[in-house]
Amino acid sequence: MKNVIMGNIDGEIEKLAFEFYDIESIIPRYCANLIISTDGKDLMLELNGRTFPIHGKINKYVIRPYFILLVSGVVFNAIDYQILFNIEELPNNIISGTSITGQKHLCILHKKTEEEKRIQKDNLLSF
């Protein structure tokens, strides 16, 4: 692993890194077709006729600027994202990398759950 995309998920501490092959699309908020569940508790992203639940607790009044859609169908809402270079893997799924500005970052590498792996396998088999 040489490079990853780091998403700033909460604007403060939670930063997740995603390997390039795991990302299907990064969608700006102004292009996103968002659907709020009838009870108002869940937020979903509609893209090309498919609907994806957005990971985590989402306040419909605090929707962040980007949506990171993974191949597995999981969506994360992020403040921003950037490429990290020269990745160094550390214990406990922590990675260290350098941004284009030369700043060092620590973040957690997103690991696919068994459900995400199954969905990804099903998607690959359908082509």
Q: What is the structure's pLDDT at 65? A: 94
Q: What is the pTM of this model?
A: 0.83
What pLDDT, on the 0 to 100 scale, is given for residue 111? Answer: 82
Alpha carbon of 107 to those of 4, 15, 19: distances in Å?
11, 5, 12
Residue 78: strand pairing partners: 66
Which residues of 15-120 form beta strands (DSSP E)?
Answer: 15-18, 23-28, 33-36, 43-47, 50-53, 66-70, 75-78, 80-89, 94-98, 104-109
The pLDDT assigned to 115 comes to 59
Instruction: Please report the pLDDT score of residue 57 as a whole number.
Output: 65
Blockwise average pLDDT, block size 10, the chain, 127 residues: 89 87 95 85 88 78 89 92 95 94 94 60 47
